Amino acid sequence: MLIVIENLLSSEEVAQFREKLSSAQWGDGAQTAGTRSVEVKQNLQVDRQCPVGTELGNTILRKLGQNPLFVSASLAETIWPPVFNCYQDGGHYGTHVDSAIMRDNDLGLTIRSDLSATVFLSEPDEYEGGELVIEEQYGAQGVKLSAGDMVLYPSSSLHQVAPVTSGQRICAIMWMQSAIADATERAMLFDLDQSIQALSVGRSADDPDIDRLIHVYHNLIRRWAQV
């Protein structure tokens, strides 16, 4: 299931991010790749100790916590701090799958990666190529969104970033452990929650039919959650 969250960041916020990232500490992104991925990864990443990256990453995390669509789709239990990257001059990331278990001993953080996310910080016309290509059940889908938009997709999927042949593709990426590990169950809960929200429009706060649906929703979470 691919979910696009539009305008996670406003155009003004994107401009502020870009200005601050211009003074960040950038390094070779291959240093954070796995054993096989290092052979297919060519990009730049902001050093995880860089104060600029930490500040901007915390801003994204606050935005996610306030976004109803993200909360509904992810049911995130833990979020890996955002990583900022830049693709240019043919930079790419060949077909790979994200690590199932991610650990950071410095942060004391271990998560199971259920969902991955990319927040686009460059407009599509600022660079050529650079599509995020995600292999789904019914074929590969290329994603290239407006600056400030985010795509949420299964970490278990094979995906790649196509070569950037001109310009710069600047993004933030992150991973989440969901309270609901099973992707099918998570998708069912998302559909149910979205339906509840749509049906609630114009109804009273104590509508008994809506209350029953909310009752079912939370009891399904209670049955399926791993917390």
End-to-end CA distance of the chain, in Å? 22
pLDDT tens digit sequence for 17-40:
999 999 999 998 877 655 555 568
Catalogue all structural domains in the chain, each as residue range(s) with its CATH number.
3-178 (2.60.120.620), 183-224 (4.10.860)
pLDDT tens digit sequence for 129-188:
999 999 988 889 999 999 999 999 999 999 999 999 999 999 999 999 999 999 999 999
Annotated binding site for 2-oxoglutarate: 169
Phi, psi of 152 (to 5 degrees): -115, 130
Annotated binding site: 96, 98, 159, 169
Q: Which amino acid is at 127?
A: Y
Residue among 1, 13, 204, 40 nearest 119 (CA): 13
DSSP secondary structure code for residue 33 in this structure: S
Q: Provide the phi-psi class of 104: left if phi over 0, else alpha when psi is between -120 and 50, else beta.
A: beta
d(CA 72, CA 32): 30
Annotated binding site for Fe cation: 96, 98, 159
DSSP secondary structure code for residue 81 in this structure: P
pTM equals 0.92
The per-residue pLDDT for 30 is: 75
